[in-house]
Structure 1
Amino acid sequence: MRLPALSLLSAFRQTLVQQVQNTSVTPLLLKQYRLKHSDSGSKMFSPAPFTKDFFFRQLFDEATWTYTYLLADLNTREAVIIDPVLEKAKRDANLVKDLGFTLKYALNTHMHADHITGSGWLKQLLPGSKSVIAKASGAKADIHIKEGDPVTFGRHRIDTLATPGHTNGCMSFVIHEQGCIFTGDTVLIRGCGRTDFQEGDPAHLYENVHSKIFTLPDNFRIYPAHDYKGLMESSVWEEKTYNPRLTKTKEEFINIMDNLNLPYPKKIDVSLPANRECGVYDIPKE
C-alpha cells in the first residue's frame, strides 16, 4: 500500500533518528534536515513590530524617487525627519503640525546630488528645528555628527554609522530597539549608490556595508533613500542574499561599479551647491 506523504515524512524522520543511534556522522545530517524543514525557519527573518510609542511614516517624492521618513515619540511628541526634499517641505511641515508633533531635527544621510534638501525650508516652516548632517560631508548644518554620535527624540535613540563610499559623508541611521536602519544611498533595495563622483570609492562602500550594515541582525528592516521600482523596504537578510552587487566578492564589486557607465546626474550642478548651504538659499518664495 502506498503511504500518504505525511506518513513518508514521519518514516524518514524515524529512519534518521535510528541512524543517529548507530553512527557519529548522521547527527549532522539530522541537524541539516531539521534546519531545512523546521516550521520556525520561515519565521526566522520576520521583522519585530515597532513599539507602541514609536511613530513611523514613509513619504515619497515622485520627481526624484526619494523616500523621506518621519519618526516620532508618541508620548513626548518629539519628531525627526530623514532626507527631506525641498519641494515637499510644505507637505512635511503640514503633516508634522497635523499630527501635533514638534520637529526636533531634520537629518540628511549625505549631501544629495539628485535633489535639494528640505532642511533649510523646514527650519523656517517649523521654527526651533535644527539641521543635522555628517561633518565629513562638507555641508553646512546646525549640528555636525560623526560615527557614534547619538540622535535622540523623546526616549528614542538613533545610532549613527559612518558608511562612506557613495560620498565621503554618507551616514546610516540605526534604531536598534525598532530593528531598522536608514541607509541613504549606501544600500538600496537590490542595489547601491553609484561611486563615480563626489569622492565615491567602491572599495570603501563595500567594506562599510559588509562590516557595519550586513553585521546587523538579519531581520532588521532596511529603509533606503531611493527606489526606482516601487519597492518600499528590504531587510539585512534579503540584501545579503539577493543584492546583485553586494553579494559579489570585493574585487567583482569594484569591477561592476567601475564599469556602470551611468549618465551624469541631471540635478547635480544645482543640488550640490544648494546642499552645501543646507538648502537655505533656494527656498521658494511661496
Structure 2
Amino acid sequence: MQEDKASTILSKRFGIDVFSAASAAFAVSPFITIVDRSIIENASGRNKLGAALKRGFVELFTRPHRFVCTPAFLLVFGVYFTTYTAANVIDTVCSYTNRDNQTPKFLGTTIANMTTCIYKDRAFTRMFGIVAPKSLPLGTYGLFATRDALTIAASFNLPSVMARELTDRKIIVDYEKSQNFAQMLCPAGIQIISCALHLYGLDLYNRPGVSLSSRLSLLKKNYLKTTITRIARIGPAFGIGGVGNRVIKERVSELLFDRQKVGVVVTAFK
C-alpha cells in the first residue's frame, strides 16, 4: 500500500514537472525566437540587428497564431521544454532517492540543452544566414557546445550555490528572494564570455577560410551590442523562465498535495 502511494505521488510529480516546463517554455520562447533569429541575421550580414528585432516583434504582435506555428518558434520551444523538463525530473528523482542533485542536474540538463540547442542553432544558421546551407564546421559545434555548457552551469547549478551564500552572509535574508536574484544574475553574467564563443562559431560558418585578425575584427565590431542583446535574451530564457518554472512547480505541488494526508511518503521529496 505504501509503495502504491509512493508510486502515485511520483507519477504526479513527473506530471507537474512536464506541465511546469511546458508553461515556462511557451512563455519565454517567442522573445527568444526573435532575438536568436535577429542575432544570426546580423552576424551573417543579412539584416541589421535593430531592423530584424523590429520585424520579429511586429510579426509576433500582429500574427501571434501564425508566429507560434513557425518552425523557428517550435525549435526554440523544443529546446527550453526539453531543458526545463530534464532539470525538473532530475530534481524530483534526486529528492525521492535522497541524493544530491548538483552533478546529475548539470550533466542531464547539459546533454538535453546542448543537443537540442545545437540542432536549433544549426537550423537557424542555415535558415537565416546568407550563404548556401551546408554542414557546420567542427569548430562551430565545439564553440556552441562550450557556450551551452557554461550557460547550463550558470543557469541550473550556480544559482542555488549563490543563493545559499547570499542568505548565509545575510546579504539577502529571505532565501526565496536570494534564489530569484541569483537565478536572474548568473545566466546573464555568463554571457560576457559565451557571447564571444557564439559569434566566433557563427563566423566560422559564414566566412570559412578568413584570417584570425579578420575574425577578431568582426567579433570586436559586433561583441557589445550582441552581448547586450544576449543578456536581454538569456534573462527570459533562464532567468524569468527559470524562476517561472520553479514557481509553477512549487505552486502546483502545493495545490495537489496535502502533506498532512500523505504523511511520511511525501517526506521523501523534501
Q: TM-score range by the shorter chain?
A: under 0.3
The TM-score, its normalising length taken from structure 2, stands at 0.26
Comparing both structures, which one devotes a greater share of its residues to helix? 2
Q: Which has the higher contact order (CA 8 A, sep 6+)?
A: 2
Structure of larger gyration radius: 1
The TM-score, its normalising length taken from structure 1, stands at 0.25
Comparing both structures, which one devotes a greater share of its residues to strand? 1
